[in-house]
Amino acid sequence: MWWKRSVARLSALAVALGGVSGGTALVAPTPARAAASCAATVGSASFGTQISPLTAGTVDTTATLNFSCSGLTPGIPISLCPNLDGGSAGGDGAGGRYLKTAGGISLPFQIYQDSGRSQPWGSSSLLVFGTVPTITATPGLGGTINVNRTLYARITTQVTTSPGTYTSDFSGQNFFWGLNLLTCAGVTVGSSVVPATFTFSATLVPDCQVAASALNFGTVGVLTANRDSSTSLNVTCTSGTTYNVGLDNGLTGAGPVSRQMKMGAETVTYGLYKNNARDQPWGLVGQGAGFVVGGAGTGSAQPLTVYGRVPPQTTPSPGPYADTVVATVTY
């Protein structure tokens, strides 16, 4: 006999204009001309709204930065230095960022410059977050530019990560722009454009998994005495998720202690129980709270023991008898 599984805020950084951080001697970007007007936007991005911590691992998403200007001098390149700080959820002090729930639970998060997610997107004034990409464009005859740049983001979940909605808002981000630069490293002055607040978010949902092993009563002769056996059933649920595990009546059974293993038209009656004394039948949730086994998830597998008994009964013909019982986890 064997089982099948059933499913079961951001303090905006006041960056002082006029100065070079990190000791790097670079010429700051200068406005192209007084009539120039530039704007920048960054779209919000979601990693998903149905992420299971049990299976997710790393989850990626992207956002798009748009930089547009008008009134520029045609043919004179313009550079944008888009600084990103830690966001409203902050960082780990070593360059990593977080998303957080309203209750303050953290989820590791990072924004990258490249699709391989190897080079973090940083800030010239907060060097711990890494370097800043240099976005350069040359105005055409109309004196305008309109360029897009992809932000590559990633979160990393563990099986023990609690379900919830995790976010980080980015507001007051100082994007400096001006005449062409070879690099934005160390640049903390220039014409400033501040995009509207944008958000990265992820929603992790409760989840459970169940796995079971076969229950084997072995080789039996005449069924004149109880024949007992047991097996293990492992339940893995997300951290803090309460659950109940029920076992159905099998393919032809009439109740928790009157399940039937069959060979052709012949049957052997047996029961499944929650305890070693075999006086607490294990059935379905619909049969009452006393018939199921409950718990709270930790993110790790929690072993449960299923106790089986074949009671004395009329012995049918010799041969292999089997049944299939479905374990259902409700949460």
Q: What is the pLDDT of residue 186?
A: 75
**Which residue, chain included where needed, has tokens 């607040």?**
197
User: Quick one: CA dihedral 250, 251, 253, 255, positive or negative?
Assistant: positive
* Residue 282 DSSP SS3: coil
Reported as a single tens digit per residue, the pLDDT across 189-228 is 779 999 999 999 999 999 999 999 999 999 999 999 999 9
Cα separation, 64 vs 198, in Å, equals 11
Lowest mean pLDDT among 28-37, 133-142, 270-279: 28-37
**For 245-284, b where at least 16 C-beta lie within 10 A, e where not — what string?**
bbbbbbeebeebbebbbbeeeebbbbbbbbeeebeebbbb
Between residues 289 and 301, which one has the greater pLDDT? 301
Q: Does 109 score more than 90 pLDDT? A: yes
Instruction: Name which of 310, 234, 230 is nearest 276 in CA terms.
Output: 230
Q: What is the pLDDT of residues 120-147, one digit of tens each?
A: 999 988 999 999 999 999 999 999 999 9
Compute the average pLDDT of residues 316-326: 97
Q: How many CB atoms lie within 10 A of CB 73?
A: 14
32 pLDDT tier (thresholds 50, 70, 90)? very low
- Cα 205 versus chain centre, distance: 8
The predicted-structure confidence for 49-89, as pLDDT tens digits, reads as follows 999 999 999 999 999 999 999 999 999 999 999 999 999 99
Instruction: Summarize the confidence of residues 43-49 as an average pLDDT.
Output: 98
pLDDT band for 106, please (50, 70, 90 cuts). Answer: very high
Look at residue 139 in the predicted model and tell me its pLDDT. 95
pLDDT of residue 290: 85
Which of the four pLDDT bands, split at 50, 70 and 90, describes residue 91?
very high
User: For the residues 275-291, what does the mean pLDDT come to?
Assistant: 89
Give the model's pLDDT for residue 26: 36
Residue 116's pLDDT band (cuts 50, 70, 90):
very high
Instruction: Please tell me the predicted confidence (pLDDT) of residue 9.
Output: 27
User: What CA–CA distance (Å, rounded) separates 179 from 27?
Assistant: 10
Position 286 scores a pLDDT of 76
What is the band of 181 on the pLDDT scale with cuts at 50, 70, 90?
confident
pLDDT at residue 285 in the model: 78
Q: What pLDDT is stored for residue 12 in this prediction?
A: 25
Per-residue pLDDT at 33? 47
Dihedral over alpha carbons 106, 110, 111, 115 (to 10 degrees)? -140
Provide the pLDDT for residue 1: 29
Average pLDDT over residues 106-124: 97
Of the given ranges (13-27, 95-109, 163-177), which has the lowest mean pLDDT? 13-27
Which residue type sits at 318? P
Distance CA 157, CA 151 (A): 20
State if pTM tops 0.85: no
pLDDT at residue 185, rounded to an integer: 81
C-alpha span between 331 and 322 (Å, rounded) = 29
Over range 163-179, report the average pLDDT. Answer: 95
Confidence at residue 55, expressed as pLDDT on a 0 to 100 scale: 95
Catalogue all structural domains in the chain, each as residue range(s) with its CATH number.
Answer: 9-204 (2.60.40), 208-330 (2.60.40.1090)
Report the DSSP beta bridge partners of residue 295.
Answer: 243
The predicted-structure confidence for 234-253, as pLDDT tens digits, reads as follows 999 999 999 999 999 999 99
